[in-house]
Amino acid sequence: MTEPRFDRVLITGAAGRLGTELRRGLAPLARELRLADRAPILELRPNETAMIFDLADEAACHAACAGVDAVVHFGGTPHEAPWAEILDSSIRGSYHIYEGARRAGVRRIVYASSVHAVGFHRLEDHVDAAAPVRPDSLYGVSKCFTEALARLYWDKFGIESACLRIFSSFPEPGDRRNLWSWLSFGDCVRLVEAALTAPRVGHTIAFGMSDNPVKPVDDRLARHLGFVPQDGTAPFRARVEAAVPPGDPAAPSVMYLGGRICAAGHPEDRDEGQL
């Protein structure tokens, strides 16, 4: 495209790991990126504006949505957490953003859902986006909530949503599970860009993984987004396998899509359950 597709795009969670990548990657798509986070957002570029607030703040969420063409909603707690935190940042926060978008006339939202919405499916199940949810954590339940909310806002209010079930987006694959679950930063940006610019999204659920050799899910129901991964874990395999011993195929952390969170207890029982 010779000029930006959008006038203004809101990115929530803009101070986070992926938010930082998205600032850079999505810059060509919009004249202005409006960045939102509760943490400070550093090194603003000329095409960027920042708004600092908590997603639990309804009025601030509505204000952030005003005047934008599209929302890239990557904010909220990024891993398992106590209920109060999940409730405020992921459930109430997502409702505030969707309702803000509705009131502001936003037409499309790209939402950072997660593999943890379906974490209790097994690798060999090869689920597609139509499979029933099987969350592996309160965090995962909150992703199911927002996917359902997004479905309502499409069916009833005509706001399109691409819910991206991101697996593991890090600079490099760090363990054996990442050898199949990795989404490179580059592919993450490409996936969001595809979701923003696809001709029709409706309510789409897509799996966010790079082109890794081991493929435990079937992404065919998102092929209309036009996402074509460019990266994969093949070059990293030898190094990772040398560093990390094989897991037990019958261990929940190996057998389930969600990995070790599936083996963790309730977040309020003890200090565990991190992503």
| CB nearer its own copies, residue 92 or residue 165 | 92
The amino acid that residue 51 corresponds to is: M
Catalytic residue among 98, 139, 153, 256: 139
Name the minimum Å distance from CB 50 to its own copies. 27
In the complex, the smallest distance separating the C-beta of residue 200 from its own copies, rounded to whole angstroms, is: 4
Q: Enter the tokens of residue 225.
A: 């987004």
Give whichever of 12 and 204 is closer to its own copies, judged by the CB atom: 204
Q: For residues 15 and 162, which CB has a smaller minimum distance to its own copies in the complex?
A: 162
CB of 4 to its own copies, least distance (A): 11
Q: Report the residue number, 17 or 237, with the smaller CB distance to its own copies.
A: 237
Query: Do the beta carbons of residue 150 and residue 203 sit within 8 Å?
Result: yes
**Closest separation between CB of residue 122 and its own copies, Å?**
7
In the Cβ-directed half-sphere of 28, how many Cα atoms lie within 13 Å? Answer: 9
CB neighbour list of residue 223: distance below 8 Å, 6 or more residues apart? none
> Which residue, 14 or 121, is less far from its own copies as judged by CB?
121
Please compute, for residue 260, the number of CA atoms within 13 A of its CA located in the half-sphere on the CB side.
11
Minimum CB distance to its own copies smaller for 19 or for 140: 140
Give yes or no: 139 in active site: yes
**Minimal CA–CA distance to 229: which of 180, 191, 274?**
191
Give least dist CB 40 to its own copies, A. Answer: 29
- Please name the residue that has the structure tokens 């593991």: 168
Least CB distance from residue 153 to its own copies, whole Å? 9
Q: Which residues are catalytic?
A: 139
